[in-house]
Structure 1
Amino acid sequence: MQQETKSRDTKGDIHRAALELFSSQGYEKTSLREIAEQVGITKASLYYHYSSKQDLLKAIIGTFFDDLYAMFQRVDTVPWSPEAERELLAAYLDVVITHRATGPTVLRDIAAVLAAFGDDLGELIERSRRFQLWLAGPDPSPRDRVIATAAVEVVGAVFSAGLEPAQLSDAEFHQTLLEAATAVLTGRRNVPS
């Protein structure tokens, strides 16, 4: 009888432990030794996967940024319409909800994130601004642009405030945030129905 071996997702375990520690005590105050201990591996084993704490941070947050960047690229190829607006808002929420554990780390240790990503972060911010401008609709007024920015910030505010109700499933959470962002967007004046 052949014994079944269970494959361990060591990188996934490292990511989860690092995010938990970075979120609770901060990037600077978290050591690789603490991460290794929480995972149940040696520090040498951790170094096998990541050469430094910054390398680990880049791996964790990099997937979030890559997914955001891919979503933001759609703005360049999808003409604005009410249907497309809802579709891209939903895609944005998919990324944010998928990577919700990453958010507190980004917000808490922005200096570490800036050091790790530098110019790439600038490009991501520019893409985010283009997404907000696209959400403002065709020929937006300054007021429309403020409203579109506020709609995106509704999502960020929920995560930065830690208002992720455990009573809601991911689907309900997604739908609630989509409704909130869409409700904010209804205040625009120059958008065709």
Structure 2
Amino acid sequence: MQHATSSRDTKAEIHRAAVHLFSTQGYDKTSLREIAEQVGITKASLYYHYSSKQDLLRAIVGTFLDDIFEVLRQVEDHPWSPEKERELLAAYVDVIIEHRSTGPTLLRDIAAVLAAFGDDLDNLIAQARRFQVWLAGPDPTPADRLRAAAAVETVGAAMSAELDLGISDAEIRAILLDAASAVLARRGTPVEG
């Protein structure tokens, strides 16, 4: 049983090192040797856990995709209500905060991510659109749909590579929920031009 625990720890260390290196250097410029060296293992040991760099990227981004899909799919089972909106928006914020270190990799190396996840990303985009339509509320106007998209983008700000605020996850969560909710609160109000 001890072997399984140390194996999981090594895998988590590999994951953290890869996220850091992919985010700072880029996917293409990071070698498996560099990741292994940062973790303090041999390249052969790294291959025990991940068969290739793309396999490692799939593991990193795949965890984010699994978690975000779980939240986004919930709109299919729940009619819109203010309470459910707040609950799902909070769950969405929580996933973004948990995976915010993955953000720079997603943004910086989109070609590698597309190569590894083409169909999954198409599904994510479709599901994200359904989530935005749901967030727009019942009988949304075009302005309401734009506000819902803006609310989702507001939450995505937590994944910015340059965002090192030095505040706790709880504070980030509160700020993002407040900002996204403020955008959504304007639903149904006329647009003044």
Shared fold (TM-score greater than 0.5)? yes
- Corresponding position of 1:73: 73
| Distance in 1 separating the partners of 2:53 and 2:146 | 38
Q: How does 1:34-183 map to 2 (within 5 A)?
A: 34-160=34-160, 162-166=162-166, 168-183=167-182
Q: Distance in 1 between matches of 2:156 and 2:99?
A: 12
Cα 1:156–1:181 shift into 2, 3 Å: same
Q: How many residue pairs are counted as aligned between the two chains?
A: 184
CA displacement at 1:169 relative to structure 2: 1.6
SS where residue 165 of structure 2 aligns?
coil
**Structure 2 alignment gaps of length 5 or more:** none
Distance 1:114 1:49 in 2: 22
Q: How far did residue 173 of structure 1 move? A: 1.1
Matches of 1:150 and 1:135 in 2, distance apart? Answer: 11
For the residue of structure 1 that corresponds to 2:186, the secondary structure is coil
8 A contact 1:72–1:131 mirrored in 2: yes
CA contact (8 A) 2:23 2:108 kept: yes
Using the TM superposition, give the Cα deviation of residue 7 of structure 1 relative to its aligned residue in structure 2, in angstroms. Answer: 3.6
The Cα of 1:46 is off from its aligned counterpart by 0.6
Q: Deviations over 1:23-66 (max 9, x none)?
A: 00000000000000101011111111111000000001101000
Structure 1 residue 156: Cα displacement: 1.5
Q: CA deviation at 1:160?
A: 1.9
Instruction: Find the aligned partners of 2:15 and 2:112 in 1 and give their Cα distance.
Output: 16
Larger deviation, residues 169-178 vs 9-18: 169-178
- Residue by residue over 1:139-182, the C-alpha shift from the partner in whole angstroms, topping out at 9 and shown as x without a partner, is 1111110010001101113422633421x221111011000000
Helix, strand or coil at the partner of 1:41? coil
Q: TM-score, normalised by structure 1?
A: 0.92
Whether contact under 8 Å (1:158, 1:164) holds in the other structure is: no
- Output one character per residue of 1:86-134: Cα deviation in whole Å (capped at 9) or x when no partner: 1110000011111111111101101100000011110011101110110
Give the aligned partner of residue 188 of structure 2: 189
Q: What secondary structure sits across from 1:101 in the alignment?
A: helix
**Matched-pair identity in %:** 70
For structure 1, the 5+ residue unaligned runs are: 1-5
Alpha-carbon distance in 1 for matches of 2:6, 2:62: 25
Q: Distance in 2 between matches of 1:98 and 1:19?
A: 13
SS at match of 1:102: helix
- The answer to which structure has the higher helix fraction is 2
The CA distance in 1 between the partners of 2:155 and 2:164, in whole Å, is: 11
In structure 1, how many angstroms separate the alpha carbons of the residues matched to 2:170 and 2:81?
24
User: Which amino acid in 2 is paired with 1:60?
Assistant: I
